[in-house]
Every structure is written in structure tokens, then in C-alpha cells.
Amino acid sequence: MKKADIKEIFELLKADNPSPTTELIFNSPFELLIAVILSAQATDTSVNKVTPALFKAADSPEKIFKLGEKGLKPFIKSIGLFNSKAANIIKTCKILSEQFNGEIPNNREDLESLPGVGRKTANVILNTVFRQPTMAVDTHIFRVSRRIGLSDGSNVLQVEKDLLKNIPDEYMLDAHHWLLLHGRYVCTARNPKCEACIISDLCMKRI
């Protein structure tokens, strides 16, 4: 895709939604981290149904660690893979308390050292909390980027690298959320809403 077309795509997305953000409900960086861990292979909607009660009961690494796996599981049992997620969250809370003074690290290496935190989750935290120009490639962004012509990468890391290379710097801080929301509500996996798409004239409509 031509650079001028890429720029126009993000100008249109920006005009439509000047301040995009995550749809996960959170009140602190720690709460967002827990919500993102829970959202792996689950929807934001399903996570938002359980986190208000959880965070009302325990909203810090120390408090969730005190719950233990047994105390945490009833809050998140409706979320897929809740057993492994509970184990990872308790381990992460222990590390945050003991090694990071209860604070969320602001660098990839430390974030990815936390159980349950992979590259995608780390990118979400770095971008949303610390406003770093990262690209967390989820299923929506992977699909949209390849479909409209922003990347021809065959895996998540290749698509991430393409997006970091091809998206102009002035759009990078919000590009993750623009592409994610576009994929969630317009450029859906099945029956994409091309007639309602504000970038359809620029889309290469691949795959």
C-alpha cells in the first residue's frame, strides 16, 4: 500500500474517533494488567462482567495475592482458561509485590517476566498505560492489517513489524486501538461491513 494511502486511512480513522482507547474497564495500571491477562482467548465484554466485583474486593497486587488461587477463582470462573489464569495472576501479584514495589513495570523485559504476560499483553500495557508507540497484534488487528493491505505478514510478529514500519509516527500511539475497533465492529471476520466502512475506497480487500 502506498504511503499516501496509509496516511489517509489513519486520517479518516482519527477523524471518526479522535481519542480511541481500550474497552476494558479499569481504574489503574494494575487493574488493566489483570484485565488484559484475563482477556486472552476471551472477549472484553466477558472480562468486564467479572472485573468490577473482583477489583471491588481486591484492587492491588497485595490484595489479590492474599486471595490466593482458591479465593480468586470464584470471581473469574466464567472466563475461559480461568484455572491457569488464576495461577498466573497470583504468581504475577507476588512478583509485583516483592520485586516492583507493587508498581507495573514500564519496559518490555520486566513485563514479559511476569507469568501470563506475553508480547501482546506487554504491548497493550506499554501503549495504553505508558503511551509508548507499540503495536499489540490481536486477532482483529492481524486480520484487518492483512485484509486492507497494511501487511502481508504470515504471523503475528511479522504483522507487528510491518505496522511499526509502515504506519506514520504521528498515528502510532493510537493505531492499535483504531485497527482493533475497526476489526471488532466494521471489518469483521465474517461478513465485513464494507458498505459502512469509512476506508473502503482505500482498502485492498485481500483475504
Domains and CATH numbers, the chain: 3-20+133-196 (1.10.1670.10), 29-128 (1.10.340.30)
Q: Catalytic residue, from 16, 44, 138, 169: name it.
A: 138
Neighbours of 29 (CB within 10 A): 16
- Cα–chain center distance at 66: 27
120 is an active site residue? yes
Phi, psi of 80 (to 5 degrees): -60, 145
Per-chain mean pLDDT for the chain: 96
* Active-site residue flag, 138: yes
pTM of the model: 0.91
Q: How many CB atoms lie within 10 A of CB 15?
A: 9
Residues 190-204 have a mean pLDDT of 94
Distance CA 59, CA 55 (A): 5
Set of cell numbers at residue 111: 513485563
Which tens digit of pLDDT belongs to each residue from 165-181? 999 999 999 999 999 99
Residue-level pLDDT at 207 = 54
Per the residue annotation, which of 14, 56, 66, 120 is the catalytic one? 120
Is 149 a residue whose pLDDT tops 80?
yes
Mean pLDDT of 141-156: 96
pLDDT category, 29, cuts 50, 70, 90? very high
Give residue 200's pLDDT: 94
Phi, psi of 60 (to 5 degrees): -145, 160
